Structures are given as C-alpha cells and as structure tokens.
Amino acid sequence: MKKSVFYLGNPLLKADNLQIRLIWDLKKLFPDLSFIHFDPTEEFPEKIPENLILIDTVIGIEKVMCFNDLNQWSISPRNTVHDFDLPVSLGLLQKLGKLKKVTIIGVPAKGTKSKVVKEIVEILLQIPPPSEECIRTPRRCLKAVFG
C-alpha cells in the first residue's frame, strides 16, 4: 500500500496554489507515494495515517519549511464555521486521539517551481519510507528535477 501525502490549496488563488502546480513533478519523482488533494474544512481521510504528511502554503515564509508540532501554528480568529482552518482541524483530531504525528511541509506563497520542488524533495527523503529508488539514489531524484 502506498504511503499518502495530502496536499491542500486553492487552484484559483495564485498565493495558495504553488504546491498544486508542482504536484505532477513530485508524483514523477516519488511513484511509491500517493499524492491526494483535499480540503481539511470539508473532509479528512477516514483512516488517518500514523504520520499524517501534508503540503500546504504558509504565508510569511520564503523557503520550504517542515513543521512537526501544532504548537508552532497560531490559531486564526473563529467567528463562523467557515473559519475552521487547518490548524484548528488538526488540533481537534489531536484532542480526539486520532492524530498521532503530523508533518506539515510548508510551501511559500511565492517561489520558483524548481526551487520549491527541490526543497520538498529534500524533506520527503527524510520522512521514511520514501521511494526505494530515491533511498538508493537520492541524487537521481534531484537530478530529475534539475536535469
């Protein structure tokens, strides 16, 4: 069974779609991973993986960053049910005991596609188990991005 990586984003908003635009490159580099687009305010996987891996836009960062602690996030003001964003949803899952570990790969709102892909690849290679091919030859994975 393939390990799943969930990615978020709005394809209509330029500031929130860089990860969507580069997902095909990641699928080629990591054929053993299943990349699934979803909206955390509407759905979460029925069976949440032991280590939930998410890729999402993070406003205010200039390079790809890895977050493993929900306490690193600030909670946005909640006035309506539409204000329940990713940190709120993950916090609820954690309180219910359904979320054991989370890895959020934060993507900047702006950046070059090739640079962001390279930075995501470097993080995914550190999260076991990536593609066996990438474990044996990580340079080949990076070379596929940059030629």
Q: Domain limits of the chain? A: 3-146
Greater confidence (40 vs 12) lies with 12
| pLDDT higher than 50, residue 82 | no
| pLDDT higher than 90, residue 81 | no
Determine whether 116 is exposed, middle or buried from the number of CB atoms within 10 Å of its CB (0-12, 13-18, 19+): buried
CATH number of 3-146: 3.40.50.1450
The pTM of this model reads 0.75
Angle between the 113-124 and 138-146 helix axes, to the nearest 10 degrees?
170
Give the count of beta carbons closer than 10 Å to the beta carbon of residue 127: 15
Nearest to 26 by CA among 7, 48, 44: 7
